[in-house]
Structures are given as C-alpha cells and as structure tokens.
C-alpha cells in the first residue's frame, strides 16, 4: 500500500490490520506520534490527515492511501512548537507531539470559524482553548502552560 507522509510517498507491504499509528511508528520509524491508549481516548497519537487533526490509532492505514499525513516530524518550527517551548507547555513530553498536532489543527478550525461547545464570543478564550483541546489528555497536568502557548501561536 501507499502512504504519503510529510510530503514523501512510501510504498509498504502491510497487514490490513495495521493502524496509521503503527504504520508510522513501526514501519516508517516516525515515533513522534505516541501510543497512549490505542482507543481514541487520549489524543497522544494525533496527526494531521489532509490538514485535519485525527487520532491515528483508530484509522486503518489501508483506508487512507490517498491522503496526506503530517506528523510532528513534518512541523518544522511551527509557531505552536515555539509557543510550547516559550511557555513550558510540557513536563515529561509524552503527550506533547499529540498536543502540538492537535493545536495546529485546532487553530485552523478556529480560522475557518468552526464553533465549539464552549460557545464563548472569543474563540481563543481560556474556556474555548480548553474545550477545543479536550481530546488531548496530559498525565502531567501541564495544561495551564499549554493554554497561553496556543494563544501565542495564534498571534495573540
């Protein structure tokens, strides 16, 4: 099967059961995306699929051969990465690649005017950022520093 990751097309011989996450980590050596729960519950495996954030642990690689995948390795010095560094948006770092990919996808959703359940007037208020990022858990509880990191990346 084919997989296009960070701009490069790969041809792989994979079992149809292989998830996108396992294809990235085990077969392409891209270990940035992490396996936390493997059931869509933690967000550690978040990557961008045609620009939209998704949980790669619940996607079968075989079903996404025509898509473009962007992983944390493909985000080179993105403003969200700088925001996380400057605001100390992590402790152990395990959830961080997923948090950053998720934030990149989330800021694009905000730009497109997508609503969230927080329903604040300001789509980048603390409550909005927390709600929009609620699909990413952090065992270390580094959330308070991620909120300003993400807001800074949005140019605020």
Ligand X SMILES: Cc1cc2nc3c(=O)[nH]c(=O)nc-3n(C[C@H](O)[C@H](O)[C@H](O)COP(=O)(O)OP(=O)(O)OC[C@H]3O[C@@H](n4cnc5c(N)ncnc54)[C@H](O)[C@@H]3O)c2cc1C
Q: Which residues bind ligand X (CB under 6 A)?
A: 40-41
Cα(109)–Cα(151) distance, integer angstroms: 14
Interacting residues with ligand FES between 57 and 96 (CB under 6 A)? 57, 90-96
In the chain, what are the helix, strand and coil shares in percent, each to the nearest 5?
A: 40, 15, 50
DSSP-based three-state secondary structure for 19 = strand
- Report the residue number, 3 or 59, with the smaller CB distance to ligand FES: 59
- Report the residue number, 80 or 123, with the smaller CB distance to ligand FES: 80
Q: Which stretch binds ligand FES (CB under 6 A): 41-49, 67-75, 77-85, 110-118?
A: 41-49
Interacting residues with ligand FES between 123 and 152 (CB under 6 A)? 138-140, 142
Per DSSP, the residues of 32-76 read: -S--SSSSSSS-TTEEEETTEEEEGGGSBGGGGTTSEEE-GGG--
Positions touching another protein (CB under 8 A) are: 15-17, 19, 38-40, 43, 46, 49, 52-55, 58-60, 62-63, 102, 105-106, 109, 112-117, 130-136
Cα(124)–Cα(151) distance, integer angstroms: 7
Q: Could you give the C-alpha distances from 108 to 2, 44, 113, 114, 115, in angstroms and in order?
A: 27, 19, 9, 9, 12
Q: At closest approach, how far in Å is the CB of 99 from ligand X?
A: 16
Count of positions on this chain that bind ligand FES (CB under 6 A): 23
Q: Given the rule CB under 6 A, which residues bind ligand FES?
A: 35-38, 40-45, 55, 57, 90-96, 138-140, 142
């Amino acid at each position: 099967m084919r997989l296009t990751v960070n701009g490069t097309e790969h041809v792989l011989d994979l079992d149809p059961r292989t998830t996108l996450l396992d294809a990235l980590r085990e077969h392409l050596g891209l270990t940035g995306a992490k396996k936390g729960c493997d059931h869509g519950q933690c967000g550690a495996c978040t990557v961008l699929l045609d620009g939209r954030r998704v949980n790669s642990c619940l996607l079968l690689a075989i079903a996404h051969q025509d898509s473009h995948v962007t992983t944390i390795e493909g985000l080179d010095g993105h403003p969200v990465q700088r925001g996380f560094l400057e605001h100390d948006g992590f402790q152990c770092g395990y959830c961080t690649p997923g948090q950053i990919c998720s934030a990149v996808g989330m800021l694009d959703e905000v730009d497109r005017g997508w609503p969230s359940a927080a329903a604040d007037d300001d789509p980048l208020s603390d409550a909005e950022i927390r709600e929009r990022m609620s699909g990413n858990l952090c065992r270390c509880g580094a959330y308070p520093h991620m909120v300003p990191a993400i807001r800074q990346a949005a140019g605020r």
